[in-house]
Homo-oligomer: A and B are copies of this chain.
Amino acid sequence: MVDGSACPCPAGKIVSGATSMLRNRKNIRIEWGDCDPAGIIFFPRYFAYFDACTHALLERAGCRQRDVQSEYGILGFPLVDVRARFIVPTRYDDDVVVESGITEFGRTSFQVQHRLYKDDVLAVEAFETRVCVALTDEKPGNMEAKSIPPEFVKKLSGQG
């Protein structure tokens, strides 16, 4: 079981300055099927976009989900906390850009920031706090928080 602590990056921060971090940009087309009867995006779809952006960021750092599983025994990076501000609505056929980067590392968790721009205007800002989990041997299907491999931190800090 992951600990769903509200402030997951406390005391023992490893890295804090967001400035030097690796960042990734992803172009996204807002699709017809992602929009609701008001003609604007159905907001849960943003979180699916952002999840894909986090995977793209990890891949860019050389930590593709598939490889991370086989190399480090990490099952995945489920969320313990997420928040988002929706500033400007987006509509189908809009082309947007999402800029993603890690803003904080804890021992077992990290925070990802996503900024979605429409015509160079910040439309959405979101923060995901994710924990690194592995399967535990005790009970099948159970997960436990796992220390983030130092190599992993290095790569995502843009020093890998």
Interface positions of A (Cβ within 8 A of B) = 1-2, 4, 6, 29, 31-33, 35-40, 42-48, 51-52, 55, 59, 64-66, 75-76, 78-89, 91-93, 103, 125-127, 133, 141, 143
Contact = CB atoms under 8 A, between A and B. Distances in A.
A80 B86 contact: yes
B44 A31 contact: no
Contacts of A52: 29, 31-33
A70 B148 CA distance: 31
A134 B98 CA distance: 28
Interface of A is mostly: mixed
A37 B76 CA distance: 9
Given A32-B36, A40-B78, 15 more contacts: A1-B88, A1-B89, A2-B83, A31-B55, A32-B42, A32-B76, A33-B36, A33-B48, A33-B51, A35-B36, A37-B38, A38-B76, A43-B79, A64-B93, A83-B83
A89 B85 contact: no
Contacts of A92: 37, 65-66
Contact of A127 (B1, B66, B78, B80): B1
A30 B66 CA distance: 12
